[in-house]
Structure 1
Amino acid sequence: MNDVLQLRKEIARLEVDLERLKRQLAHLQKACAHEFVETPLARTCAKCLQTESLYY
């Protein structure tokens, strides 16, 4: 039972970290001077890895 509680605490901590890192990544991508590399289906920034679909 103790293992289950530890795992749930770890999951909660990781979810908080994930949200923080998502916000940090969004901030970096917003401020990036993108240098896109294009493929037939997508273009991806070589600096911040922001990806945009070219297939609609």
Structure 2
Amino acid sequence: MDQTSIDKPTCHVLKLKYEIIKLNQKITQLEKEVKSIQENCRHVFYETDVTRSCIKCHYVESTYY
């Protein structure tokens, strides 16, 4: 029984996994940027009964205790 080569799909899977790793690293970098912006923001909050959100940097705090 002849078997077809599976080298190409394996190579493609490895490329996809590498791309996933790169994208996860980019997500981590972007999350750090957002955190830095929010930590240095002079917040202007919009408040509801359960949260308050900064209208400038979108930082959200729960006020529900």
Q: Pick the TM interval, shorter chain.
A: 0.7 to 0.9
Equivalent in the alignment of 2:44? 35
Runs of 4+ aligned residues of structure 1 deviating over 6 Å after TM superposition are none
What CA deviation, in whole Å up to 9, does each residue of 1:6-50 have, x standing for no partner?
221111001110111111111101110100001111111000000
Letter in 2 for 1:38: E
| Structure whose CA Rg is larger | 2
TM-score by length of structure 2 reads: 0.77
In the alignment, structure 2 segments of 5+ residues that lack a partner are 1-9
Tell me the C-alpha RMSD between the 2 structures. Answer: 1.0
Larger RCO, structure (CA 8 Å, separation 6 or more): 1
Task: Map 1:1-56 onto structure 2 (within 5 A).
Answer: 1-56=10-65
Number of residue pairs matched by the alignment: 56
TM-score by length of structure 1 reads: 0.88
In the alignment, structure 1 segments of 5+ residues that lack a partner are none
Give the percent of matched residue pairs that are identical in Structure 1 and Structure 2.
38
